[in-house]
């Protein structure tokens, strides 16, 4: 009995990688218009939500005033001129410059690689939106308004939450991409070769 015919592997090109099968030929990973629109919608929504909640807290609560919600959760109006945990409180100008550079880098990365993974518009949209919202406050006011307070953790705001969630989505996508791909159902259900 003869062995079944193997599929022909097509090889193209004369470059050094010309022996690569056509199935792994490179495609552009640049962000498409749809991906840019998704990123913009998510970033603008994050900015709007963060700015609205900060204004509401500032209008309803005096500075350092708190409102108990449930358990350890409080709405506590505080100002933070630094970054996470109040670090670099006396270096507002440096924080502004570094945040601006980070946002510019993320936009450049997205322009080149926005089509790399379907979660990139969401994840980077959240990170960029949160970063820009806090950046706007630092430029305009010299501080950010924090108000979500669990008592055992320094107070934070929605922009901080969006940044953490966006980074978490990126990390989850990286971990998922590193996993060994599962064989397709067709391969699993095929009878063993003899």
Nearest to 159 by CA among 188, 180, 138, 181: 138
Rg (CA), the chain: 24
Using alpha carbons, select from 21, 25, 16 the residue that is nearest to residue 6. 21
Q: Biggest alpha carbon distance in the chain? A: 87
Which of 50, 137, 149, 160 does the annotation list as catalytic?
Answer: 160
Q: How far apart are CA 169 and CA 189, in angstroms?
A: 33
Active-site residue 160, yes or no?
A: yes
Catalytic residue among 50, 137, 146, 149: 146
Contacts of 41 (CB under 8 A, 6+ apart): 125
Residue in 167, 164, 163 with CA at minimum distance from that of residue 47: 163
| Residues tagged active-site | 146, 160
């Amino acid at each position: 009995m003869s062995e079944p015919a193997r599929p022909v592997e097509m090889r193209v090109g004369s470059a050094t990688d010309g022996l690569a099968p056509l199935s792994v030929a490179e495609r552009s990973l640049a962000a498409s218009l749809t991906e840019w629109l998704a990123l913009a919608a998510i970033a603008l929504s994050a900015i709007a939500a963060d700015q609205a909640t900060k204004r509401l807290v500032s209008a309803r609560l005096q500075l350092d005033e708190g409102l108990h919600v449930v358990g350890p959760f409080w709405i506590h109006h505080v100002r933070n001129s630094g970054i996470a945990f109040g670090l670099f409180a006396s270096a507002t100008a440096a924080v502004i410059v570094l945040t601006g550079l980070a946002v510019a880098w993320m936009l450049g990365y997205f322009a080149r690689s926005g089509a790399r993974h379907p979660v990139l518009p969401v994840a980077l949209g959240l990170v960029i939106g949160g970063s820009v919202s806090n950046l706007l406050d630092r430029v305009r006011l010299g501080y950010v308004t924090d108000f979500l307070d669990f008592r055992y953790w320094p107070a934070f705001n929605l922009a901080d939450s969006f940044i953490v969630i966006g980074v978490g989505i990126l990390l989850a996508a990286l971990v998922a991409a590193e996993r060994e791909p599962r064989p397709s159902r067709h391969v699993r259900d095929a009878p063993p070769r003899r």
